[in-house]
Amino acid sequence: MSTTTTPTDTATLWRLIVQAGGMTAYIDAQLRERGFLVPRRDADAMSDREKDAYKKALKQEAEERRKLRRETWGAYKANHIVHLGEGVFWTDEPKEDKWDTPNSEERAAENELPALDKPEQLAEALGVTVPQLKGMAYHRDAATSLHYVRFTIPKRDGTERPIWAPKKRLKAAQRWILQHIVERLPVHGAAQGFLVGRSILSNAQVHENPKVLLKMDIKDFFPTVTWKRVKGVFRRAGYRDGISTILALVCTEAPREVVTVEGKTYYVSLGPRCLPQGAPTSPALTNALCLRLDRRLAGLAKRYGWRYTRYADDLTFSLPMDHKGPPKLGAMMGCVTRIVAGEGFEIKEEKTRFHRTGGRQSVTGLVVNGDGAPRTPRKLRRQLRSAIHKLKTGKPLKDGESLARLIGYAAFVHMSNQELGRKMLADLHGHEDKPSGDAK
């Protein structure tokens, strides 16, 4: 191949390198075709003039070899992931190791997971180039730009919950991973959140008419799920180390602080990468990760005669009304705390609550007291009726109320009481096209 026809496209160049048998073989072939490869001879038998010519030829060969090495290395880097950042071990060797799941290929096939052995396959599936895939996965302790947009939403206790929303390309990649991999992983029947056919209503229905209701929260749920734990999920699913590493990095990001130094903004990591609240993959990954936790807690609940569900980080236990014998509440709470700790989490003690009959008992916002089905609190329905009446009579809404919020409340009512919710939604939708002054 002449110099004028040497490919500049890195993908094409890399294919030629592979066809030649590797970078060394490609370089030697190019040197030979371009007339730079010098046959080795015994310099002792040469004349001074021949030695000078021989040295000059070797020097030209060495210079051309350096150029070809730069080109081939550039092609390699453009088509391979060489490094993934600080603190990340990376190898693209698809060889087996001791951490591989036994019969990994069979397990992946059982879950109908896509076959992914190389980063090139994953990049193609995500519709990105290998460099773009590397960019989405690469970790920097002090980054000058991120693939996320940060904002906050208010929590019930008045504090702010940080949300890290992925940008367009990363979000599309995470959605592919969610649809083709994470949603196909096994989860326990006690998991009620972020699953098709399950909701806050199905969560509450498990605990209808309880004798005793126990609610416990996991502390810092998403931040506790680090990228190495996420990598373990993909490894157990049947993927090898390299692909699992990339998948885990694409689905995580480090908690960060924004710092400005000499007019330049840096996003400084405050800890290991973890599941960001805002990524589409985060909730489903927690369900897959908590499979063993749910199994252990469900087994504990069954042993003591309790019922158990988990909605994200909310653990709910209830004792049926017909249960005979003491509730063993203290033993339950102690065992739950130890099991949760054994699975790498921590109970948020200040949010632990238990409710007996006689007071209102609610699960994920729905009242479960008595013989009736789970329902929205009476106070909420009364406030919603009052707001709808104000809209109909042209009176102003209370501070903090808006048509969008009222429609959300009505949809919440519709979940457990379709007839009442449908009527409320119809009343509210009749005001959507009116000027904002008529319905704040």
How confident is the model over 242-292, as pLDDT tens digits?
A: 999 999 999 999 999 989 998 999 999 999 999 999 999 999 999 999 999
Residue 5's pLDDT band (boundaries 50, 70, 90)?
A: very low
Instruction: Tokens for 225, please give them.
Output: 């799920």
| pLDDT exceeds cutoff 70 at 437 | no
Q: How far is CA 336 from CA 198, 220, 295, in A?
A: 23, 17, 12
- What mean pLDDT comes out for the span 82-106? 78
- What mean pLDDT comes out for the span 290-307? 97
- What mean pLDDT comes out for the span 378-397? 90
Return the percentage of the chain with pLDDT > 90, whole number: 68
- The least confident of 34-38, 76-80, 226-230 is 76-80
Q: Specify the pLDDT at position 397.
A: 85
- Strand, helix or coil for residue 100: coil
Q: In angstroms, how far is CA 434 from the centroid of its own chain? A: 41
* CB 425 within 8 Å of CB 411: yes
- What mean pLDDT comes out for the span 67-86? 89
Q: Specify the pLDDT at position 1.
A: 40
How confident is the model over 152-170, as pLDDT tens digits?
A: 888 767 777 778 899 999 9
- What mean pLDDT comes out for the span 11-33? 90
| pLDDT exceeds cutoff 80 at 97 | no
Secondary structure E strands in 223-271: 256-261, 264-269
- What mean pLDDT comes out for the span 4-9? 51
CA atoms within 13 A of residue 23's CA, in its CB half-sphere: 13
Q: Is beta strand 210-217 parallel, antiparallel or unpaired with respect to 353-356?
A: antiparallel
Question: Which amino acid is present at 46?
Answer: M
Q: How far is CA 334 from CA 295, 331, 338, 361, 429, in A?
A: 17, 5, 6, 22, 49
| pLDDT exceeds cutoff 50 at 4 | no
* CB 251 within 8 Å of CB 282: yes
| pLDDT exceeds cutoff 90 at 77 | no
Q: Considering only CA atoms, which of 137, 9, 131, 139 is closest in space to residue 79?
A: 131
d(CA 88, CA 141): 11
d(CA 353, CA 355): 7
Return the percentage of the chain with pLDDT > 70, whole number: 94
Q: How far apart are the first and last CA of the chain?
A: 74
Q: Specify the pLDDT at position 439.
A: 44
Site of tokens 């479960």: 368
Residue 436's pLDDT band (boundaries 50, 70, 90)?
A: very low
- What mean pLDDT comes out for the span 236-240? 91
Instruction: Tokens for 401, please give them.
Output: 């109320």
* CB 379 within 8 Å of CB 346: no
Q: Specify the pLDDT at position 223.
A: 93
* CB 58 within 8 Å of CB 39: no
d(CA 50, CA 48): 5
Site of tokens 């051309």: 64
d(CA 12, CA 262): 43
Q: Specify the pLDDT at position 94.
A: 65
In whole numbers, what is the pLDDT of the chain averaged over residues?
A: 90
Using only C-alpha atoms, the chain has a radius of gyration, in whole angstroms, of 31
pTM above 0.85, yes or no: no
Instruction: Tokens for 330, please give them.
Output: 């203290």
* CB 256 within 8 Å of CB 392: no
Residue 123's pLDDT band (boundaries 50, 70, 90)?
A: very high
Q: How far is CA 368 from CA 204, 357, 362, 365, 410, in A?
A: 7, 10, 6, 9, 19
* CB 262 within 8 Å of CB 135: no
Give 317's strand partners: 214, 308
What is the number of other CB atoms lying within 10 angstroms of the CB of residue 89? 7
Instruction: Tokens for 292, please give them.
Output: 């063993």
How confident is the model over 400-435, as pLDDT tens digits?
A: 788 888 999 999 999 999 999 999 999 888 776 554
Residue 41's pLDDT band (boundaries 50, 70, 90)?
A: confident
| pLDDT exceeds cutoff 80 at 105 | no
Site of tokens 């006689």: 358
